[in-house]
């Protein structure tokens, strides 16, 4: 039987052992088939394997059992490729501690496509959400694959931006690909599968666990040529991905934020410490070595604005602004300001947010 089958068997132990221990087993035994056929005494030589783990690894080890696993995957439309497979992403195979293999739903984008991960905090601001989406959309229009983690906040905004740009996107999960996490992401998950894939090193049925996500993050950066941090606080878990990306030799870019915002403290510090600042998607193209691409020919929508409408529109930015501050900037009465804001909302130029605040739509 081909070693791919034995690699699949080995991948079923990722939740119990983690990839480091499995890579240690592979290094010791040379092939997954040799791990499969090793007896308990031989496996015990590696160290770090509990009696329970040894018992689980050495029971029901038959080709028929693996073939049953394959049938289960096929019934769910889930594909598996090991890192020995010719279609396994070359960038990911080359990282320290690479996954044994990956399970995925959808189509895995090919190696000839540029890949950029856009990451950030789950509890992001409207600014962080919009910048992630605004960067992802024009990049996706150029055929660049957007990689993220499908988490709330910045991750989902990045995926949404890629989809709006008509491009491909990869969501890397900290659970099995048969599980929708977070649960409310079921709609965008279907769209991602239809325009890329959801991917995980964890076998189907693996529930999301807190300790899975740092391991998941190394795959996000490992799949990517460049990592962009859209927004992150000083203690954001996103910064773990940054550390991993730097260990993998990936270039890290960061979007500058308001220096008074704690949600931008992490990204601002990254820039201070040498990360390349991103103020436009062309900065990401430059980091990829793409410097001569023109904006795709999409005719701009001409929305005529009255003088007072332009005054208010110019006063609103991506960072939400309250009604009181808008009044100070525009010197308009509250009644006029309300009417103008409604008109701009109808023209889909600004968006009303909770707390009588407004921000630009794009």
Cα distance between residue 149 and residue 300, in whole Å:
31
Note the pLDDT of residue 65: 87
Strand extents, DSSP E, 9-92: 79-82
Would you call 282 helix, strand, or coil by DSSP? helix
Q: In the prediction, which pLDDT does 221 show?
A: 96
pLDDT score at 175: 97
**Looking at residue 183, what DSSP letter applies?**
G
Residue 362 has a pLDDT of 66
The tens place of each residue's pLDDT in the chain, 362 residues long, gives 478 999 999 999 999 999 999 999 999 998 999 999 998 889 988 878 888 988 888 887 888 888 899 999 999 999 999 999 999 999 999 999 999 999 999 999 999 999 999 999 998 999 999 999 999 999 999 999 999 999 999 999 999 999 999 999 999 999 999 999 999 999 999 999 999 999 999 999 999 999 999 999 999 999 999 999 999 998 888 888 899 999 999 999 999 998 889 999 999 999 998 889 998 999 999 999 887 555 444 444 456 788 888 899 989 987 888 888 999 999 988 888 888 888 888 788 888 887 778 888 76
pLDDT for 94 equals: 92
Q: Please name the residue ranges forming H helices in 142-196.
A: 154-164, 186-194
pLDDT of residue 299: 42
Contact between 154 and 138 (Cβ < 8 Å): no
Q: Give the start-end residues of each E strand in 107-214.
A: 115-120, 145-148, 169-172, 196-200
Rounded-to-integer distance, Cα 266 and Cα 77, Å = 39
In a 3-state reduction of DSSP, which class is residue 353? strand
| Triad 160, 166, 169: Cα angle to 5° | 55
Give the per-residue pLDDT at 111.
94
Whole-number Å distance between alpha carbons of 298 and 304: 18
Q: Which residues pair with 321 in a beta bridge?
A: 358
Give yes or no for a cis peptide into 182 (omega within 30° of 0): yes
- Name the token pair of 229: 């941090």
């Amino acid at each position: 039987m081909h070693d791919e089958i034995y690699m699949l068997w080995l991948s079923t132990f990722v939740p119990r052992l983690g990839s480091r221990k499995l890579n240690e087993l592979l290094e010791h035994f040379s092939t997954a088939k040799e791990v499969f056929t090793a007896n308990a005494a031989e496996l015990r030589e590696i160290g770090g394997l509990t009696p329970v783990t040894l018992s689980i690894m050495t029971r029901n080890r038959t080709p028929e059992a693996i073939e049953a696993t394959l049938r289960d995957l096929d019934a769910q439309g889930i594909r598996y490729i090991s890192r020995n497979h010719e279609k396994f992403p070359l960038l990911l195979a080359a990282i320290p501690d690479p996954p044994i293999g990956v399970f995925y739903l959808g189509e895995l984008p090919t190696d000839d496509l540029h890949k950029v991960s856009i990451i950030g905090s789950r509890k992001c601001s409207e600014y962080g959400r919009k910048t992630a989406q605004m960067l992802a959309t024009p990049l996706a229009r150029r055929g660049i694959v957007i990689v993220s983690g499908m988490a709330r906040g910045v991750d989902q905004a990045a995926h949404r931006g890629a989809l709006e740009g008509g491009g491909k996107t990869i969501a890397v999960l900290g659970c099995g690909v048969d599980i929708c996490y977070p649960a409310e992401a079921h709609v965008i998950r279907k769209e991602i599968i239809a325009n890329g894939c959801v991917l995980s090193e964890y076998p189907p049925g693996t529930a999301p666990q807190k300790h899975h996500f740092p391991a998941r993050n190394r795959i996000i950066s490992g799949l990517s040529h460049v990592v962009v941090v859209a927004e992150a606080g000083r203690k954001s878990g996103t910064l773990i991905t940054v550390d991993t990306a730097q260990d993998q030799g990936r270039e890290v870019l960061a979007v500058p934020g308001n220096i008074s915002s704690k949600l931008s403290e992490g990204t601002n510090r990254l820039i201070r410490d040498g990360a390349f600042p991103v103020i436009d998607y062309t900065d990401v193209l430059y980091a990829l070595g793409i410097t001569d691409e023109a904006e795709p020919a999409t005719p701009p929508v001409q929305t005529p604005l009255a003088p007072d409408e332009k005054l208010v529109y110019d006063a609103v930015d991506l960072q939400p602004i309250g009604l009181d501050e808008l009044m100070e900037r525009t010197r308009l009465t509250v009644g006029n300001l309300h009417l103008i804001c409604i008109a701009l909302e109808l023209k889909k130029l600004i968006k009303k947010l909770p707390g009588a605040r407004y921000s630009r739509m794009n």
